[in-house]
Amino acid sequence: MRQWVCLNGTLLPAEEAKVSVFDSGFMQGIGLFETMRAYNGKVFRLQRHLDRLANSARALAWTTIPDLDEAADNIQQVLTAAGATDARVRLTVTTGSLHPAADAPGLTIVAMASPGEKYPDECYTNGVTVLASECRQSRQDPTAGHKTTSYFPRLASLRQAHTQGAFEVLWLTPEGQLAEGAISNVFLVRNDRLFTPPLDTPVLPGITRATVLELAAALGVPAQETALTLDDVQGADEVFLTNCMMELVPVVRLGRERIGSEKPGDLTRALGIAYGHLIDQECGG
């Protein structure tokens, strides 16, 4: 599949897309992004992704808030041009050029689509290992809970975990509370009850995270947003990670210590099946 980019409303082959060296995203790392997944040519819960991006722009005091209809149109353009069915879609928005003579003042909006990068089947059938990061996230960080382009700390911690054979790395608060993974939200299961850190931990308000909580309610599974620790992770019956590309991935080890039976659990599996049914309903099966 050829990759296409929609840059400020103009559809271009990826190799022809250019952004100014004076762009705030390049110069200062000021930007927001959404990674989304398209099934059958339709982005799952697109409006929720766009709303989250706009809410972050407001919370971070951007002077211009992205036009969500324009962003949705740009995303559809790249999906149509690429002929994508199952695809990874990224929308990136920065506050634009810092150069006083910029020809096009205002936001820089980039949408792109590429073939869906599925995780290996064994991640779901066997489960994965996670590590605890030495990094910390704090309520005092103004970017906490927002999907900003200043993403190096997350990627650095994830890269280090990968060198040790782990799939993901868990971040904690300075007080030792469980927050989230470098690129995921975290859920625990104990006694058939679902637990996840509250948004004000702080954690990213994940679209998949919210969907799992909805599915739990529909299945009659008690769910609670509450403060958690690594001890809770270690003592859980089941643990799983969520984001839009991985969906629900079971965790069976924290470092070298097993979690539960060291196998994907029944509730994780049931929620994963329900998630797949919801995708079929909203995006076509």
- pLDDT, one tens digit per residue, over 158-207 is 999 999 999 999 999 999 999 999 999 999 999 999 999 999 999 999 99
Which residue, 233, 39, 248, 211, is CA-closest to 125?
248
Domain ranges of the chain: 4-115, 121-283
CATH number for the domain formed by residue range(s) 121-283: 3.20.10.10
- pLDDT, one tens digit per residue, over 255-270 is 999 999 999 999 999 9
CATH number for the domain formed by residue range(s) 4-115: 3.30.470.10
Q: How confident is the model at residue 11 (pLDDT cuts 50, 70, 90)?
A: very high
Backbone angles phi, psi at 57, to 5 degrees: -60, -40
Quote the pLDDT of residue 99: 78
| CA–CA gap between residue 6 and residue 20 (Å, rounded) | 15
| CA–CA gap between residue 172 and residue 164 (Å, rounded) | 19
Average pLDDT over residues 272-284: 97
Average pLDDT over residues 109-121: 91
Which residue, 201, 270, 195, is CA-closest to 235?
195
Average pLDDT over residues 131-148: 96
